[in-house]
Structure 1
Amino acid sequence: MSAWRLSLKQAPALRVDARGLSPAALAGLDAVAVGELALWHGNERVALGDLFAIEAHAEEGELRLEGELSKFDRIGWQLAAGSLRIDGPVGDYLGAGMSAGAIVANGDAGVLAACEMSGGRLDVAGSVGDFAASALPGSMDGMRGGTFIVRGHAGERFGDRMRRGSAIVFGDAGDFVASRMVAGTIAVAGAIGAHPGYGMRRGTLLAAGAQPTVPPCFVGNTVDIGVFWQLLARDLARHGGPFAALAKRAAPRRFVGDLAAGGKGELLIAG
């Protein structure tokens, strides 16, 4: 699989649908053919060579994007193989629907990052907007697998309708984190906004930082979770940062809920 570096020449005037930018789509092409690929810019198609300076690089199977890409949406859309490395901020729907491969974004991302992700690894060095790890508009299922790491902050409704996988936030998370969550694990090292676990049916939400306000539809539970906690803490410790020493902390307080939605989810508040 070929490897390319695309460096943005200048920020586009309108938003760009970048779902066609993937390692697989560019595999086997020469520089001329890569430059002739077209992306939607508003309601017109623009050649890749008009937007980016194109050069080959040595990392097999990797596509690198560089520049101010905050108007480029759907980067990594349904990624199924290879890796993407992005140096700069990106637009909406980063890694949406990805099932395998890896994306590393060294900047911020817009709304709906990792929505309906089912596999692979998405690592965002900055912050993400609202509805990350959630469902696409009109869909019933959110993130379904894989590992999603946010090293900055997350917006509101993080993990809405999440069904499976691990979503990890090093910073703060906004209101309604883990809303309508069905399964999976969300861990937040910073502060959590209002109404965590709203409509939560199952799954785990770990508050490893500042103690959030426990919603009235969650109740305390005294079941011994010492063994489970060590397994969870060691798994999260692999990601480093504020989770590195988590296994040395005492087992957290456990609350179950949302009782209005069946009450089988859990909110863990680390001491």
Structure 2
Amino acid sequence: MTRHTLMLRAAPPLRVDARALSPAALCAMRREEVLRLPLPQGRESVPLGECFDVASDLDDAPPRLRFEGDLSRFDGLGAGLALGTIEVHGSVGDQLGLAMSGGELQVEGSARDLAGCAMRGGRLEIRGDVGDFAAGALPGAMDGMTGGTLVVHGRAGARLADRMRRGTVVVHGDAGDFLASRLVAGTVAIGGRCGAHAGWGMRRGTLVMAGEALQPPGTFVPVHADAGVFWALLARDLARFGGRFEALPRRAIALWAGDLAVQGRGEWLVLLD
């Protein structure tokens, strides 16, 4: 198995489709083969060697790719990832981790729109911000994220976790408008503030507001049943993400249910002072 480090030479003039850059595929290639790998750019393709310098060495560890540089014009990186690890020391473009089902994808910078879109498994961690529709559905699709874990250390844009069906989304910063809209199932935890219309059209699932207390909309109602055991388990699970979530097991919550406008039975957990 060959381990490769790809160092960006210069930002390409057009956007590049990076879906072919998977650890399982590239780590089975020799350096010379990697340099010749075609990358779609606009209507044509360019050899990978025109965009990157490649350093390679033999390694018996699981497949791992390392990228260095600003990859903001590279879209679809980690799409379909099933095994192995991708490390990116820089920012990335759209559709990061698109439909990934396993493995681990770590980004030290920020990502654009559709990060973790249609994600089915694995772990996607972004140290910076993400754009709109993270953990959401592909355009025209009915299902958003259906498994795995998405962790964002910065802020998230609009429509985070739209139509999400399963999995865990943790955002340490703020979230934009329509957070967890049309949520079907899964857990979404926000450490900062959120924009307008949070929980709009929720069917089921759990939204944890660990930051600034926000009054739920009028289509949610308070629930007075004892949720102590459920909250103890959920809080302990979220505490491992650190930051504001670390203190959750010591906090009390108010439980709301909705969105009643769509006969929803979602759970909205708001921390009490």
Structure 1 CA distance for aligned equivalents of residues 243 and 223 of structure 2: 29
Q: How does 1:40-59 map to 2 (within 5 A)?
A: 40-57=40-57, 58=59
Task: Report the AA paired with residue 263 of structure 1.
Answer: G
Structure 1: distance between partners of 2:258 and 2:171 = 21
Counterpart of 2:254 in structure 1 is 253
The one of 140, 143, 158 equivalent to 1:138 is 140
Report what 1:14 is aligned to: 14
State the TM-score, normalized to the length of structure 1: 0.98
Q: Which residue of 2 aligns with 1:36?
A: 36
Number of residues of Structure 1 aligned to a counterpart in Structure 2: 270
Q: CA deviation at 1:24?
A: 1.1
Match of 1:187 in 2: 189
Q: How does 1:109-258 map to 2 (within 5 A)?
A: 109-250=111-252, 252-258=253-259
Q: Contact 1:194/1:213 (CA < 8 Å) preserved in 2?
A: no
Structure 2 unaligned segments of length 5 or more: list them: none
The residue aligned with 1:80 is 82
Kept in 2: contact 1:82–1:102 (CA 8 A): yes
Does the 8 A contact of 1:2 with 1:60 survive in 2?
Answer: no
* Conserved 8 A contact 1:193-1:212: no
Residue 33 (structure 1) shift: 0.3
CA contact (8 A) 1:256 1:266 kept: yes
1: CA distance, partners of 2:101 / 2:11: 29
In structure 1, the gaps of 5 or more residues are none
RMSD: 1.0
**In structure 1, how many angstroms separate the alpha carbons of the residues matched to 2:158 and 2:217?**
16
Say which is worse superposed, 9-18 or 20-29, in terms of deviation.
Answer: 20-29
Deviation at 1:113, TM superposition (A): 0.3
Contact 1:2 1:23 in 2 (8 A): no
> 2:19 aligns to what SS in structure 1?
coil
Percent sequence identity over matched residues? Answer: 54
Which stretches of structure 1, 4 residues or more, deviate above 6 A after TM superposition?
none
Q: What's the CA shift for 1:60?
A: 4.2
- Give yes or no for contact 1:162–1:181 (8 Å, CA) kept in 2: yes
1:2, CA displacement in angstroms? Answer: 2.6
Q: Distance in 2 between matches of 1:144 and 1:41?
A: 30
Shift of 1:245: 1.5
